[in-house]
Amino acid sequence: MASVIRLYVNHPLGAGQSVPLSREQSHYLFGVMRKGVGEVLELFNGHDGEWLGRVVQAGKRNGILLCERQSKPMQLPPDLWLIFAPIKKARTDFIVEKATEMGAAQILPVQSDFTNSERIRQDRLQNHAVEAAEQCGGTYVPVVHELQKLSKLLDGWDVQRQIMFCDETRLGSGEALPSLAGPWAVLIGPEGGFSPAERRRLNEMPEAHGVSLGPRILRADTAAVAALTLWQSALGDWQ
Amino acid sequence: MASVIRLYVNHPLGAGQSVPLSREQSHYLFGVMRKGVGEVLELFNGHDGEWLGRVVQAGKRNGILLCERQSKPMQLPPDLWLIFAPIKKARTDFIVEKATEMGAAQILPVQSDFTNSERIRQDRLQNHAVEAAEQCGGTYVPVVHELQKLSKLLDGWDVQRQIMFCDETRLGSGEALPSLAGPWAVLIGPEGGFSPAERRRLNEMPEAHGVSLGPRILRADTAAVAALTLWQSALGDWQ
């Protein structure tokens, strides 16, 4: 299974456009992967779709590609946010990777009352989203936000955006997902569940809909994939 | 969030039943976790439901519990198999963990034409399933099988068992899942996809149904959770 290398580049893409590679990308392509002049790669930048680019300069610090033709149109994901409480580092990385594959447009880590995590490395998580987008064949990279308090996020909530919230401590008593078009957010509770105050607040928001993820308690990373699957297959781009 | 320790024990459970702990469990409970006589734990063995057991002997090598009362009835998962091609070790571990949380009854690792993996550690994977069952609150532990060839598994296939197969190289062209009760299997292709011969064979089996998992290519572990979510919410115990 020979496979073409896919690269995210922070540069405009278009026919005849010359695209300089970063030092890291040049090192990876020409040092590690031993690619050379003439090699064709798939490029995307998050807004111009996917383009085939040919290597015209293979310097291990300063490679240059030439855009030839568009190989995939730009495909934006649905206007879907994933809101989650960060957990252990490896599982937080997984959630960002999986949210990218599953087609979330924005990823918002939050501190809830029962979240242990005090900080995240936003730049590292954003890089994970770039790598997952390179891998999954998408043309879009979701934005990873800085950590914020859930209560503050809900204070400024736009009532036009529906919330599907998954409370792992509330088993088998969910609503059906209402088939409302427009912007949505999927909210995954922390492993300890939402606090009573948070649960009360969500239950009082008419735009928030509690959904059950079955009779077993899912880990937060499993819950993120499961909830995004339910949403994408009912309302998103899997239909 | 104080939480009760949950343990899988390979021993009958029932009112008044005395349950000896293994050396590893005794060490963990009384050495690492510093629990003592009188402590109450949740116990399950995969067929008697969940029971509360009280520590009556706290030896670091030979603890004993006494079963008091049933705290959860036995809940068998649907008759659902997860068949997948093992990938890198960490992701294979994740697939077993996630399949347990998602309620698969049996987990069958297979070698397909494009699988790289030559071997698995069945005992390690079975232990992962036990740990995931302890964590997710289920009363059942799925059986993890030894690695076998996909072609051989299909040679002996029981036509009564429907197959939902997810081919990551075939984007956006799935069937709807037919709502047939009875035994099912979810089959996840390897990262390189099925070979043309495998795809032909599956397409010729009337009991095999190809399903799409959206417009992006999912990693095998993401695909496993997504496919099990679709099945559980349509035909399984999430309904």
For B78, the 3-state DSSP assignment is coil
For B221, the 3-state DSSP assignment is helix
Per-residue pLDDT of chain B (239 residues; tens, 9 = 90+): 347 899 999 999 999 999 999 999 999 999 999 999 999 999 999 999 999 999 999 998 999 999 999 999 999 999 999 999 997 888 899 999 999 999 999 999 999 998 877 789 999 999 999 999 999 999 999 999 999 999 999 999 999 999 999 876 654 455 678 888 899 999 998 877 899 999 999 999 999 999 989 999 899 999 999 999 999 999 998 87
φ, ψ (nearest 5 deg) of residue A165: -110, 140
Task: Give the minimum alpha-carbon distance from A100 to chain B in angstroms, rounded to a whole number.
Answer: 9
**In the predicted model, what is the mean pLDDT of residues A59-80?**
95
By the CB < 8 Å criterion, does A217 face chain B? yes
How far is CA A196 from each of CA A112, A165, A206, rounded to the nearest angstrom?
A: 11, 14, 18
What value of ipTM does the predicted structure carry?
Answer: 0.92
Q: Per-residue pLDDT for A178 more than 60?
A: yes
Chain-chain contact of B137 with A237 (C-beta, under 8 angstroms): no
Q: Which of B216, B217, B228 to mutate to test the interface with A (most CBs of A within 10 A)?
A: B216
- Please give the angle made by the CA atoms of A117, A119 and A122, to the nearest 5 degrees: 125
Q: Give contacts of A114 with chain B, Cβ < 8 Å.
A: 1
Any idea where the domains of chain B sit in the sequence? 6-72, 80-235
Per-residue model confidence (pLDDT) at position A170: 55
Per the prediction, chain A carries an average pLDDT of 92
Q: Which of A47-51, A136-140, B88-92 bottoms out in mean pLDDT, i.e. has the lowest?
A: B88-92
Per-residue model confidence (pLDDT) at position B168: 63
Chain-chain contact of A103 with B215 (C-beta, under 8 angstroms): yes
B-chain residue closest to A135, CA distance: B217
CA distance B158 to B49: 30
B40-44 and B50-57 as β-strands: parallel, antiparallel, unpaired? antiparallel
Per-residue model confidence (pLDDT) at position A121: 93
Chain-chain contact of B136 with A219 (C-beta, under 8 angstroms): yes
Chain-chain contact of A229 with B232 (C-beta, under 8 angstroms): no
The CATH number of domain A6-72, selected from 1.10.530.10, 3.40.640.10, 3.10.20.310, 2.40.240.20: 2.40.240.20
By the CB < 8 Å criterion, does B214 face chain A? yes
Question: What six digits make up the tokens of A126?
Answer: 């954003």
CA distance B92 to A179: 35
**In the predicted model, what is the mean pLDDT of residues A162-171?**
77
φ, ψ (nearest 5 deg) of residue A212: -90, 140
By the CB < 8 Å criterion, does B4 face chain A? no
A-chain residue closest to B136, CA distance: A217
Per-residue model confidence (pLDDT) at position A175: 65
pLDDT band at residue A125 under the 50/70/90 scheme: very high
* Type of residue found at A115: T
By the CB < 8 Å criterion, does A214 face chain B? yes
The CATH number of domain A80-235, selected from 3.40.50.720, 3.40.1280.10, 3.40.50.740, 3.30.70.330: 3.40.1280.10
By the CB < 8 Å criterion, does B212 face chain A? yes
Q: Which of residues 84-113 of A touch B (CB under 8 A)?
A: 94, 97-98, 101-103
Q: Which of A26-30, A220-224, B85-89 bottoms out in mean pLDDT, i.e. has the lowest?
A: B85-89
Q: Which of B191, B222, B235, B238 to mutate to test the interface with A (most CBs of A within 10 A)?
A: B222
Chain-chain contact of B214 with A103 (C-beta, under 8 angstroms): yes
Closest partner residue to B1 among A135, A192, A215, by Cβ?
A192
Question: What six digits make up the tokens of B81?
Answer: 């198999």
Per-residue model confidence (pLDDT) at position B1: 39
Q: Per-residue pLDDT for A2 more than 90?
A: no
- The H or E element containing residue B43 is strand B40-44
Chain-chain contact of B136 with A103 (C-beta, under 8 angstroms): no
CA distance B182 to A46: 44
Per-residue model confidence (pLDDT) at position A116: 72
Closest partner residue to A216 among B103, B216, B218, by Cβ?
B103
By the CB < 8 Å criterion, does B232 face chain A? yes
Task: Give the minimum alpha-carbon distance from A152 to chain B in angstroms, rounded to a whole number.
Answer: 23
Per-residue model confidence (pLDDT) at position A1: 39
Q: How many CB atoms lie within 10 A of CB A47?
A: 12
In chain A, what percentage of residues exceed pLDDT 70? 96
Q: Which of A97, A128, A171, A225 to mutate to test the interface with B (most CBs of B within 10 A)?
A: A225
Q: Which of A85-89, A153-157, B140-144, B180-184 bottoms out in mean pLDDT, i.e. has the lowest?
A: A85-89
What is the 8-class DSSP label of residue A92? H
Per-residue model confidence (pLDDT) at position B158: 97
Cβ burial A16-37 (10 Å sphere, 16+ → b, else e) = ebebebeeebbbbbbeeeebee
Count of pairs with CB atoms under 8 A, one residue in A, one in B: 92
Per-residue model confidence (pLDDT) at position A176: 73
* Type of residue found at A148: Q
